[in-house]
Chains A and B, each alone.
Chain A
Amino acid sequence: MTEIFGVPTQALFGQLLIGLINGSFYALLSLGLAVIFGLLNIINFTHGAQYMMGAFVAYLLTAKLGLGYWWSLAIVPLIVGATGIVIERLMLSKLYKLDHLYGLLLTFGLALIIQGLFRNEYGTSGLPYSMPEALSGGHNLGFMFLPNYRAWVIVASLIVCGATWFIIEKTKLGSYLRAATENPALVQAFGINVPRMITLTYGFGVALAAFAGVMAAPIYQVSPQMGADLIIVVFAVVVIGGMGSILGSILTGFSLGVVEGLTKVFYPEASNTVIFVIMAIVLMIKPAGLFGAQK
């Protein structure tokens, strides 16, 4: 068996694939953040809590209404996205004319409230959520055993990321959105309802977070704090990718997943910090991020 740096190549491929799968989660989550920041200039600290809400609403749909995983994938983003719209209408919209830092502080406060409420209600050990029948089991690829669900994660993530990128960069709706954030007054003068577009954009970003939450429910612990530490890592991904760049976040998400996966093989103790180290380096060399343009 050949070895690279003391690790058998077979094992290495397995780890690379795992890294790609994790990268899919990072990409999905950072996509929502990037959409919200890129188009609205808001740092959505609540993203982690909204991811968590996605997983919990999926659990509730199953527990109370008997609706399974596939229903959840469709319905949950709509429900949580709706809560996002409410937040935007009631609170965020009042802050647009102020320094962006206030938006960050507001969403930080909201994250604390949401997490605290869920913790009060559901405790901290977490809730069980079972794997959908169609996706359980897996295939032996020779160099590793790949659970079907993990393969599904990559596929779903690629589809969603690709679709989002396409909508924003290549369609008329997307161009309206991008124009509206660059020059809202002018675009409004053209008769386009700018505030509504902004609201819908925020709702869409939140829906993406909730979607990631439903995807996570079968494999990660469904607990109120599941988003809290993850959100910091996702911030790092978005900053590295370039805070306004959709494509940047997607590519960075996948690549950093792979980098983290490799670190877990060669130097696992550092796998938590490697993303932050990269972020610090990128910020020193290219402060707008790898794909970003400084605003």
Chain B
Amino acid sequence: MPREQKIALAVMAALFALAPLAVYPVFLMKAMCFALFACAFNLLIGFGGLLSFGHAMFLGTAGYAAAHAAKVWGFQPQFAILFGTACAALLGLVTGLIAIRRQGIYFAMTTLALSQMIYFFYLQTPFTHGEDGIQAVPRGMLFGVIDLSNVWAMYITVFVIFIAGFLLTYRVIHSPFGQVLKAIRENEPRAISLGYDVNRYKLLAYLLSATLAGAAGATKALVFQLASLTDVHWSMSGEVVLMTLLGGLGTVFGPVAGAFIVITMENYLAQIGAWVTISEGVIFVICVLAFRRGVIGELGGWLKKAL
């Protein structure tokens, strides 16, 4: 790992490790879950060049699955999270097989349509309790011994999951697989002519992205102890696009920064609710017109290092 990225990783880890002493822990846990979600999304668009407008379906599916497993089947939290993640992965496989064959705009529209179908499915299926959502999900005992209703225990768990997920995306990006992915993004016909089965690579990237998004969703369900329709609605898909765009598409730390900024903004603007949507829209517009590299991208450009 290049030196500046090692420093950035250390800074990020230290910030998240120490911040709960000063900042409200539940807020930080929410930020970490969304940061992981954005990292997963960035894997697909920043490095795979595929804009998915339906990523909420993975966040929400994992959330519902984990919530149901923890509440109704009494799974221990680690199994509930794993179960949720597995469900998201399965959904990723199925939707990936349908969507991957298209590119660019068509791919985005396909993912949007698929996620709408999933949304309506969850709206009507009884186990999700529709508008009410799955409430009062127990956090349970991690590995049967650690009580996660203790906020510190929960925080450390979320922190570990976040760092693990982040490192996994890092590893994927900087592996031979990641290089091929970037090659496909830059020039797909060339990659094909070099003999790579591009569809298989894209599908694999999509699958990884879906799985990690699922991990974020399952963890979030346990943090907030509920799973609701908000997580499968298309506006949630739009939010993760915003976070990644703001942070910097294709940067390593961008999604984390972007997620953190958007969550903070939502939290503090909640007092004047109507302006949240408008501010998000303004940020979108500014980022697209003038700020395409995002916060971390600009920072990296200024430092002349890749972040």
Contacts and interface: CB of A to CB of B under 8 A. Distances in A.
Direct contact of A and B (CB under 8 A): yes
Contact of B106 (A110, A239, A277): A239
Interface centre among B109, B114, B241 (most CB of A within 10 A): B109
Contact of B278 (A43, A120, A232, A280): A120
Contacts, number: 112
Contact of B283 (A102, A109, A243): A109
A276 B116 contact: yes
B289 interface: yes
Interface stretch (B28-36, B76-84, B97-105, B195-203): B97-105
Interface stretch (A93-101, A176-184, A250-258): A93-101
A235 B109 CA distance: 8
A279 B117 CA distance: 11
A16 B289 CA distance: 46
Contact of B289 (A91, A113, A114, A239): A91
Dominant SS at the B interface? helix
B127 interface: no
B247 to A, nearest CB: 14
B280 interface: yes
Contact of A105 (B109, B241, B275): B241
Q: B interface, how many residues as a size bin?
A: 35 or more
Contacts of B234: 232
Contacts of B98: 280, 283-284
B229 interface: no
Interface string A101-125: 1101110111111111101100000
Contacts of A99: 104
Given A112-B277, A273-B120, A236 B102 contact: no
Nearest to A284: B98
A189 B275 CA distance: 46
A272 interface: yes
Contacts of A119: 274, 277
A112 B241 CA distance: 13
Given A106-B289, A276-B117, A280-B117, A112 B104 contact: no
A126 interface: no
A102 B109 contact: no
B104 A101 contact: yes
A114 B277 CA distance: 9
A280 B289 contact: no
A14 interface: no
Interface string B241-283: 1000100000000000000000000000000001111101111
B285 A280 contact: no
A133 interface: no
Contact of A236 (B108, B113, B274): B113
Contacts of A287: 101-102, 106
11 contacts: A95-B288, A102-B288, A108-B284, A116-B277, A116-B281, A119-B277, A235-B113, A273-B116, A277-B117, A279-B110, A284-B101
Given A104-B105, A113-B277, A116-B275, 5 more contacts: A239-B113, A276-B113, A276-B114, A277-B117, A279-B109
Top-4 shortest CB links A-B: A109-B284, A112-B281, A113-B281, A116-B278
